[in-house]
């Protein structure tokens, strides 16, 4: 009985430890016709940011900024159902990533890393 409880506890703890936090994206603005696909999902865990979408979106501008507005990461990616992972290194406590902006098809989405 105790062995079963320990196994269940270990499973529940690992799910909590390995789960990623979700970034809620807000539509900042669109010009013209918006992309017909869904809004990309953004999750983060420590130094990794994962972006995925049900359909493929080409030429997505990705900008991650710290709390001072300094750019920590900037790239252009193709986002699809398999997702992409962006590594944003820890700066040793000097600055933390706080926002992510996605630009594609005349659309601008923005979200905050809540931690």
Confidence of residue 80 (pLDDT cuts 50, 70, 90): very high
Residues 35-79: tens digit of each pLDDT? 455 789 999 988 899 999 998 999 999 999 988 888 999 999 999
Cβ contact 49:41 at 8 Å: no
Supply the pLDDT for residue 89.
Answer: 78
Supply the pLDDT for residue 41.
Answer: 92
Tokens encoding 3: 């062995």
* CA distances, 93 to each of 65, 71, 89 (Å): 14, 16, 11
Tokens encoding 71: 């750019």
């Amino acid at each position: 009985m105790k062995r079963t409880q320990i196994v269940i506890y270990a499973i529940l703890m690992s799910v909590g430890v390995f789960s990623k936090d979700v970034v809620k994206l807000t539509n900042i603005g669109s010009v013209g016709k918006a992309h017909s696909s869904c809004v990309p999902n953004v999750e983060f865990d420590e130094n990794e940011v994962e972006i995925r979408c049900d359909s493929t979106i080409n030429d997505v501008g990705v900008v991650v900024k710290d709390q001072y507005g300094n750019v920590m990461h900037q790239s252009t990616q193709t986002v699809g159902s398999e997702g992409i992972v962006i590594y944003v290194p820890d700066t040793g406590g000097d600055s933390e990533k706080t926002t992510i902006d996605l630009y594609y098809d005349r659309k601008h989405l923005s979200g905050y890393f809540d931690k």
